[in-house]
Structure 1
Amino acid sequence: MGANTRSPAVVLGLCSFTHDSAAALLADGELVGFVEEERLSQRKHTKDYPRQAIDWLLSEAGLTAHDVDTVAYNFQPLRYLAEVPAAARLALATGTRDRALHRASGFAKVAYRTQKRLQDLGRRFPNARVRPVQHHRAHQLAAFASSGWSESAVLVVDSLGERQTTTIARGLDANRPTTRTLEAINDPASLGYVYGAVTEHLGWRRGDEEGTVMALAALGDPARFHSLFARAVRTTQTGFFVDPSYFPPRVLHGGFARMTRRFVDDTCPRRQPDEPLQDVHRDLAAALQARTEEVMVHLARRAQLVTGSRRLCLGGGVATNCVSVGRIIEADVFDEVFVPPAPGDAGTAIGAAIAAHCDSGNSKGIAGVTRSCYLGPTYPDPALDLSPWPGLTQKILGTETAEFLADQLAHGVIVGLFQGAVEAGPRALGNRSILASPLEPGVVERLNATVKFREPFRPFAPMVVAERAKEFFTLGQEAPFMSMASPVTEATRQRIPAIVHANGTARLQTVTEWQNPFMHEVLTAFGRITGTPVLINTSLNVKGKPICGTPDMALDCLANSGLDALLLEGRWITK
C-alpha cells in the first residue's frame, strides 16, 4: 500500500523480549489479526522479537514497516524505576535486608533494558511513534474489549507488570474501551509469583507448567498445608499480603531463591523432574491451589464492592487458572464472568494496540476484538508435499467432511484437526485441536501416554454444543474459550466419566454455530451418532511443543505421535 493511500492510523501492538512474544495490528481501529510467535517459530513461550508474526500481519494488511504509525509496547520503563527507592524499606527488616540493594538494582536494570528495547523498536519502524503502555492497563483493555460489554469490573492478577501484580478497574464502552484502575497491589505481594515458585519447587517449569500443578492438586489433601499457606498468603481487607519468611521479595537477577529455608523445612525438599511423585507433593499442590482459589474469590468480592458492577472481566496469567475462575462463578458474586481467549501476556499485544489507538484521539471505535478468538494465519488451500514424512498418505474429502469426521471419532479414531485461523491464547478451540470420543474405553490413558506424552493424571477438556451444555455441565453460563472449570451433572458422571477430573469438574468449552460452524456441525453429528454431543478437545501438540500453527508443524505432530489421522483443510492424512 503506497504512502498516499495507506490508513492514517496503523497501530502495531507488541509483546516481546520477555516471554510469550506476540503481535496484533489495528488499522483504523479494525483488528487485522493477532498471533503468538511460537505458533510460527515452533519455540514455546519464546521471548524473541515476533518477526514472523509481524511479517504475517503486515502482509495481511498490505503494509510495510514504513506504514506503521504507532508501535505500542506492553511495558513502561519508567514505572520500574519507582521500585528503586521503594526497595529501601526492605533494608529496615532483618528478614529482607539482604535483598534490598539487589532488588533496587534489578528493577533499575530492567527499566534500562526496557528503554533500550523501545529504541530498538523505533529503529525497526522508522516512521512510527513508539508508545509504551502500562502492563496492567494492556491486560485490562484486552479483557474488557473482548467482552463486548458496556460496563464491567476488571480484575487482573499476574506475576508482575512493572510494579503491579493485581489491579481492580472499571471498564466502560467496549466499542471505545476505557478502564480506570481503582485499586492496585504492588510486588512483592504476588499470587503469580507464589504459584510459579511452588511449581518450580515441585519439579515443573515455572511460567509453563502451572497447569500441571493445578491438575495434580485434585489428587492431594489441601488440609496438610492449609495453615501454612494461610500464613504465607494472608488476605487483607483490600487484597492480600505475602509473608517474606516463606516467599522472600523478588529480585530480578538470577541466583536468588524464590522461597525460604523455612518453607522447605515446613513442606519438603525440592523435587527433581525425574523423581516419582509422593503424597507430600500432591498435598502441597492441593494446598497451593486451594489458597489461590480462596484469594481469587476474595479479590473478586473486592472488585464487586469497589466497582458495584454485576459483571467481571478477568485478565493476567493467574486468570488461566480455570479452577479458580470456576470458583468465582460458583461464589455467585457476579451475574457473569468473562475471560478473554488470551488472558496472559501474549494478549497484552492487543491491549497495548487498543490503548494507543484510543489515546491518539482517533474517533473510530474498536472492531474485530469482541468475542473473537480465531485471529491468526489461515492456510485454506495448502500445497502439501508429504515427502519429508514417509508413510503419510492423503485423500481429499468431499462436502460431508463434518459427518465423516464425526463417524471416525465415534469409531474410536483419535484425530488432529487443522482448519481455519490459528486460535489466540493457550487453548485449542477447534481449529488446532486433537479430538477424541469420550465414550471410548481407556481414551484418557491413551491420549496421555501415546499422543501427548504427558503425566497420566492430566485431564482432558470437553467441548459441547452450547444449546445442550446444561445436560452435562452446571456452570450456568457460556464458556467459549475453555477458561472455566465447571461441575458436572450426574448424567455426565454416568455416561462420560472420561472428561471428569478427580475434583469433579471439567474445563469446559461451549461451541455455538456462530463461533465455529464446522465444530458445531461435527459435535451435532457426533451427538446424532452416539447420543452425546460432547468430544474431548486438547491442543494439537505434544508436551513441550507449542500448538501447531502451520501445516508442517501439524504434519510433524501426526508423524511423531500416536495420532491416528490428521484432518488438514479437507485432506484426510493417515500413516
Structure 2
Amino acid sequence: MTAGNVVLGLCSYTHDSAAALLVDNVLVGFAEEERLTGDKHTAAFPERAVNWLLDTAGVDPHSVGLVAYNFDGRRYLDALAATEMYAGRDTTRDRAQPRAESFRKVHDRFGSRMADLRDRFRRARVVPVLHHRAHGLYSFASSSYDAAAVLVVDSLGEVQTTTLGSGRRLAGGGCRTTIVEDIADPASLGYAYGAVTEHLGWRRGDEEGTVMALAALGDPTRFRALLREAIPITDGGFSLDPRWFPLRVLAHDYPRVSAGFIAATCPARDPSAQVEAVHADLAAALQERTEQVMVHLARRVRSVTGLRLLCLGGGVAANCVAVGKIVEAGIFDEVHVPPAAGDSGTAIGAALAASLDNTRHLATGVTGRCYLGPAYPRLVLAENPRPGLTAHRPAAPAKHVAMKLAEGHTVGVFSGNLEAGPRALGNRSILASPLLPDVVERLNDTVKFREPFRPFAPVVLASAMADYFTLPQPAPYMSIASGVTDLTRERIPAIVHVNGTARVQTVTADANPFLTEVLTEFAALTGHPVLINTSLNVKGKPICGTPDMALDCLTESGLDALMLEGWWVSKC
C-alpha cells in the first residue's frame, strides 16, 4: 500500500480529541479518544484512537501519507488586524492588546503542534485544514444530498465563528463546498452560549445541553430585552455587544460576561448551589435568542444559496431545540445534522478535505454512517466478570432485553461499533421503558446522577414515528427536537419535556438491526415501539467505549443489567 493512499484526520491538542482514517479514499473508521481513555473532552493526542484505526486497516504509521489537522493555525494572525480599532473604542480598549497577544500565542503554539505531528508521522505530509471547511465538508458528505446549503455555527474556528455556504457532489465523484459568507469573532453564538452556561454554574464546552434543558422551566420575558441587546440580529447575521459579552481573549483568566451583565441578571451560580427561578429565566432568554438567531441564519443561507436542503455543523448545531425551530419554520425541505457535529467530527472533515484536494474525489463510506468506532464481537466473559456480577449468554438477546425492559428493568446496551458524536444511538445506550411511573426521576437520581429537570430522549421505529411525533423528516442521530402527538402525551408522557418536545431518534433495521429488534419485541409486549434511550455513562464521564468502562458503569450506578456483546450481565 502506498503512503498516498492513507490519510489520517485529527482533532487534537484543544478538546474532544478524535481521529479518522481513509484508505484508498474510503473511510475506515472514526473514534473519539475520551471513549477509550475515560478522560472526558480530552485534549491529548488521540493515541488510542489512532492505534485502533491503524490496526483495523492493517497499516503502520509509516504508511500514512497525509495527516490532516482540523485547524489552520496560520489564520489566527488574521485577528490582529482589528487591534487598533478595538483599542480605539471605550467598550473594547482594555482587552484589545491582550486579545491580540492571545491570538498570536495560539498561532505560535500551532507551529509546535505541526512539528509534533511531523515527528509522529515522519513520512507523511501534514496539512492544516480551515476549521469551518472541515465542519462543513463532513456535514455535507455525511448527508445523502447531491446539493445543499451548509451552515456552520460554533464558538471559534481560527477567526470564523459562523459560515454560510453550499456543497455539491460533482459528476465522476468530485465535490465542491463553498463558503459564501462568514461572520468573524467577536460575533460568536457559541461564545455567548458558553459564557452564560459558565455563569449559571455548568461547565462551558460540556454542559450547554443542561442549560438548554433548564430553559424550558424558565420565563424568557425577564431577560428578553437584555439578550436582544446583547446579541443583536443584523441583515447578514448577528453580532455581540461587548458591554455584555466582553471581547474574547484566548486565556482562562478573562471573564466572558461583564460586570454589567452580572448586575443586570444574577451573581455567578456556584455549581453546588440550588438552581433558582432566576437561573431558569436567564437560560430561557438565552435559548430563545439562540433559536431566533439560528432561524435567521437559516433564512440567510437559504437566500444566498437558493438551495432547499440544509446541512448543519459546529457545536451550536447540537442545540436540538434550535434545530427543531428551523425544521418547524419550513425554510428547507429537510435538515441534516451529522452524528458528530462538534469538533470531534472535524477529524473526519479534515481527512475528507485533504483527500479531496489530493485526489479530486470525495471519499466514500461517510454518508449515513454513525457506528464508526471499535467493536468487541469476540468478547468472552467469566461467569462472574466482577464481584457481585453474573454473566450468561441468552439464546435471543434482543427478546431478552425487551422482556426485561417491559418488566421495569433499566438495561445498558453495549453492542457493535461505537457511535460517533455525543448521542448514544443504540450501541452504547441505557434503555428503559417510558411506560414506567417516575422513570425520569429514577434515571436521573440513581442511574445518571444528574439534575432532576434533565429530560430523556425517546427512540422509535421509523415506521411508527408519525404515530408519536410531529417531525416531518427522519431523525436518525437524535439531533432534532420534535413536537409530539396526543397519543404520546396520553400514553408515554415520560418522554415529553416541559416545553412539549422530545429529542427523538428514528431507527430502521438497515441502520441498527439489534435495536430495531428490541423495539419490535418491546412493542409486541406493550403495544408501543418506543423506548427511553440515554447514553451509557454517568454524569461527568464519557460514553463507555470499552467493555471495562461498561462494567464500571453497571457496578457504579443504579443500572439493573447490561447486555454486553451478547452477554447478559446482572447484579447478584
TM-score range, shorter chain: over 0.9
Say which SS state the counterpart of residue 242 (structure 1) adopts.
Answer: coil
Output the CA distance in 1 between the equivalents of 2:360 and 2:41.
Answer: 35
Partner Cα distance (1:563, 1:534) in 2? 19
| SS of structure 2 residue aligned to 1:82 | helix
2:318 corresponding residue in structure 1:
320
Residue 79 of structure 2 corresponds to which residue in structure 1? 83
Give the fraction of aligned pairs with identical amino acids, expressed as a percent: 62
**TM-aligned CA deviation for residue 378 of structure 1:** 0.5
Q: Contact conserved, 2:413 with 2:563, CA < 8 A, in 1?
A: yes
Q: How far 1:403 moved relative to its partner?
A: 1.4
Query: Equivalent of 2:345, from 341, 344, 347?
Result: 347
Task: Rate the CA distance shift 1:363–1:225 in 2: closer, same or farther, 3 A.
Answer: closer
Tell me if the contact between 1:28 and 1:364 (Cα under 8 Å) persists in the aligned partners: no
Higher alpha-carbon deviation: 76-85 or 152-161: 76-85
For 1:25, the equivalent position in structure 2 comes to: 21
Q: 2:565 aligns with which of 566, 569, 572?
A: 569
Could you say which residue in structure 1 is the equivalent of 2:202?
Answer: 204
Picking from 146, 149, 155, the partner of 1:153 is 149
Task: Tell me how far 1:176 sits from its aligned partner.
Answer: 3.3
Match of 1:453 among 438, 441, 449: 449
Partner in structure 2 of residue 180 of structure 1: 178
Question: Is 1:233 aligned with 2:227?
Answer: no
Q: Which amino acid aligns with 2:317?
A: A
2-structure distance, mates of 1:107, 1:343: 25
Give the Cα separation in 1 of the matches to 2:73 and 2:445: 45
Q: Distance in 1 between matches of 2:285 and 2:433?
A: 33
* Alignment pair present for 1:379 and 2:373: no
Contact 2:153–2:313 (CA under 8 A) maintained in structure 1:
yes
* Contact kept in structure 1, 2:4 and 2:66, CA below 8 Å: no
2:271 to 270, 273, 290: 273
Aligned counterpart in structure 1 of residue 475 of structure 2, from 475, 479, 483: 479
What residue in structure 2 maps to residue 333 of structure 1?
A: 331
The 5-angstrom pairing of residues 254-269 of structure 1 reads: 254-269=252-267
Partner residue, 1:556:
552
1:106 maps to 102
Say if 2:209 and 2:319, in contact at 8 Å, map to a contact too: yes
Which of 94, 99, 116 matches 2:90? Answer: 94
- State whether residues 13 and 24 of structure 1, in contact with CA within 8 Å, keep that contact through their aligned partners in structure 2: yes
Once the two structures are TM-superposed, the CA of residue 457 in structure 1 deviates from its matched residue by 0.4
1:369 aligns with 2:366: yes
**Residue aligned with 1:147, SS:** coil
The DSSP-based 3-state class of the residue aligned with 1:60 is helix
Map 1:526-545; keep pairs closer than 5 Å. 526-545=522-541
Name the structure 2 match of 1:466.
Answer: 462
Q: Is the 8 A contact 1:394 1:573 kept in 2?
A: yes
Name the SS of the counterpart of 1:114 in structure 2: helix
> 1:85, CA displacement in angstroms?
2.2
Residue 71 (1) aligns with residue 67 (2): yes
Question: In the TM superposition, what whole-angstrom CA distance separates every residue of 1:459-501 from its partner, at most 9, and x where no partner exists?
Answer: 0000000011000000110000000000000110000000000
Return the alpha-carbon distance in structure 2 between the equivalents of residues 524 and 65 of structure 1: 44
Judging changes above 3 Å, is the alpha-carbon distance between structure 1 residues 17 and 376 closer, same or farther for their aligned structure 2 residues?
same
The alpha carbon displacement at 1:6 in A equals 4.2
Q: Which residue of 2 aligns with 1:221?
A: 219
Match of 1:305 in 2: 303
Q: Distance in 2 between matches of 1:405 and 1:176?
A: 44
Q: Which amino acid in structure 2 is aligned with residue 48 of structure 1?
A: A
Q: Distance in 1 between matches of 2:399 and 2:153?
A: 42
**Contact 2:352–2:362 (Cα < 8 Å) also in 1:** no
Out of 20, 34, 39, the position equivalent to 2:35 is: 39
User: 2, 5, 19: which one pairs with 1:9?
Assistant: 5
Equivalent residue of 2:91, what SS?
coil
Structure 1 residue runs of 4 or more that deviate by more than 6 Å after TM superposition: none
- The separation in 1 between residues aligned to 2:299 and 2:393, in whole angstroms, is 53
Q: What whole-Å deviation, never above 9, does each CA across 1:26-72 have from its counterpart, x for those lacking one?
A: 01110000000000010000000000000000000111110000000
- Cα RMSD over matched residues? 1.0
Q: Distance in 2 between matches of 1:441 and 1:228?
A: 40
Q: Distance in 2 between matches of 1:107 and 1:7?
A: 34
Matched letter for residue 315 of structure 2: G
Q: Which residue of 2 aligns with 1:514?
A: 510
Q: Report if the CA contact (8 A) 1:405-1:522 is conserved.
A: yes
- Counterpart in the other structure of 2:241: 243
Query: Which residue in the other structure is 1:129 paired with?
Result: 125
SS of the residue corresponding to residue 269 of structure 1 reads: coil
Residue aligning to 2:411: 415
Distance apart, 1:365 and its partner CA: 3.7
Taking structure 2 as the reference length, the TM-score comes to 0.98
CA distance in 2 between counterparts of 1:279 and 1:138 reads: 40
Aligned-residue offset at 1:254: 2.3
Paired AA for residue 40 in structure 2: K
The DSSP-based 3-state class of the residue aligned with 2:150 is strand
CA contact (8 A) 1:141 1:177 kept: no
How many residues are treated as equivalent by the alignment?
569
Q: Distance in 1 between matches of 2:544 and 2:456?
A: 18
Q: Is the 8 A contact 1:7 1:27 kept in 2?
A: no
Q: How many Å apart are 1:385 and its aligned residue?
A: 5.0
- The residue number in structure 2 matching 1:192 is 190
Which of 376-385 and 434-443 deviates more? 376-385
Kindly provide the CA deviation profile for residues 147-166 of structure 1, in whole angstroms up to 9, marking residues without a partner as x. 02110000000000000000
Which whole-Å deviations, capped at 9, do the CAs of 1:441-467 have from their partners, x for residues lacking one? Answer: 111100000000000000000000001
Amino acid at match of 1:123: D
Structure 2 residue 391 is matched with structure 1 residue 394:
yes
Q: CA deviation at 1:405?
A: 1.1
